Structure 1
Amino acid sequence: MRTLVLNAGYEPLAIVSFKRALVLVMNDKATVVERVDGDPVWGTRGAHDRPAVILLSRYVRVPGGRRVPVTRRGVLRRDAHRCGYCGKTASTIDHVLPRSRGGADSWENLVACCLRCNNVKGDRTPQEMDWELRFLPQPPHGAHWTVRGTERSDPAWEPYLSLAA
């Protein structure tokens, strides 16, 4: 069982274990916002609800902007496993500007690509092939990208995750 942790400003911070969430609630460092239906957990100071979402009592300052690291899996997920050139199911990634010509491993230069398009394109740019990208590649944003573990989210978390998007 997992619990969504919200900062004091209701911004999603993390996903923690049920046990860790209960410790935060019992130590008055957080309050339960959404409960899981079921029996309460009994402690030495009484009963506590099973938390699905908790809110921290104090604001936690998050250092810098949360940048999502570029990964093959991330590019495929961002593009919904669809080829950036033809729209078919993608299993690889492609550098829009090839690495041999100075193309970087960045969100703006990588797209999901099917094997056929990847082999045909080779070491050329889309302009040289007279191809157009179906979308402009950009870094992903939203709580689903900055808070680890939200890809397998609980339905009770949805209102809080959509606020951060």
Structure 2
Amino acid sequence: MGRKVLILNQDYSALSICSVPKAFLLVFLNKAELVAESDQFKLRTVQAEFPMPTVIRLHRYVNLPYKGVMLTRQNIFKRDGHRCQYCGTTEDLTLDHVMPKSRGGKTNWDNLTTACKRCNSKKGDYTPEEANLHIRQRPFKPSFLLFLREFSGAVDASWMPFIAKRERRYD
């Protein structure tokens, strides 16, 4: 049961993703309502059958002043499609500071990119231009909705009305 469920705030804005058991528990405890269910799967017990949720909506509004994507190694790999942004390989991936830290480069979304060990070693303490490397996609900070839609793996079709609100941002 590795499927994911989209959690909506009370105002139908995308809030988070959770597991099916957690979503079922929220609905069962009347903390959320079922908005969309799977056509193919059901949750079964010995005595009952329940719909498998794909989208739920919380009954109470949750105020989140900052809803962003955490800066982690895996999230950068997801943003970059698990490919070296210099040569395109998927082997021996690591992180690279586009502007090297020794030259004042920061550890943030706009300066970190995925690179293979070979390209990272070739680049060394230089900028991509100085090392004669072309960067395929400039690093950027994804919005929460963009990350849900583009980088969180398989997205259920029932999620699209709630996460297809913003256009993709490229720098």
Q: Which residue of 1 aligns with 2:136?
A: 134
Quick check: which has more Rg, 1 or 2?
Answer: 1
Q: Residues 6-45 of structure 1 correspond to what in structure 2 (within 5 A)?
A: 6-37=8-39
Using the alignment, how far apart are the partners of 1:111 and 1:21 within structure 2? 34
Q: Distance in 2 between matches of 1:5 and 1:56?
A: 7
Q: Which structure dedicates a bigger proportion of its chain to helix?
A: 1
**TM-score computed with the length of structure 1 as normaliser:** 0.73
Per the alignment, in what secondary structure is the counterpart of residue 76 of structure 1? helix
SS at structure 1 position matched to 2:87: coil
Distance 1:16 1:158 in 2: 16
List aligned pairs for 1:1-165, cutoff 5 A. 1=1, 2-37=4-39, 49-62=51-64, 64-89=65-90, 91-143=93-145, 145=147, 150-151=152-153, 153-163=155-165
- Give the number of equivalent residue pairs: 160
Deviates more, 1:21-30 or 1:52-61: 21-30
Structure 1 residues 52-80: Cα deviation after superposition (integer angstroms, max 9, x where no partner): 32112332211x22232222222221111
1:21 deviation in Å? Answer: 3.3
CA distance in 1, matches of 2:43, 2:89: 49
How far apart, CA to CA, are the structure 1 residues paired with 2:19 and 2:113?
34
State TM-score, norm by structure 2. 0.71
Cα 1:125–1:31 shift into 2, 3 Å: same
Change beyond 3 A, Cα 1:29–1:53: same
Cα distance in structure 1, aligned partners of 2:69 and 2:136: 23
Note closer, same or farther for the CA distance 1:7–1:119 as it changes in structure 2 (3 Å cut).
same
Tell me: CA distance 1:135–1:36, structure 2 relative to 1, closer, same or farther (3 Å): closer
Of all paired residues, the percent bearing the same amino acid is: 39
Does the 8 A contact of 1:94 with 1:110 survive in 2?
yes
Asked if 2 retains the 8 angstrom alpha-carbon contact of 1:144 and 1:151, the reply is: no
1:154 Cα deviation from its structure 2 partner: 4.2
Higher RCO structure, 1 or 2 (CA under 8 Å, sep 6+)? 1
- Unmatched segments (≥5 aa) in structure 1: none
CA RMSD for the aligned pairs? 3.3
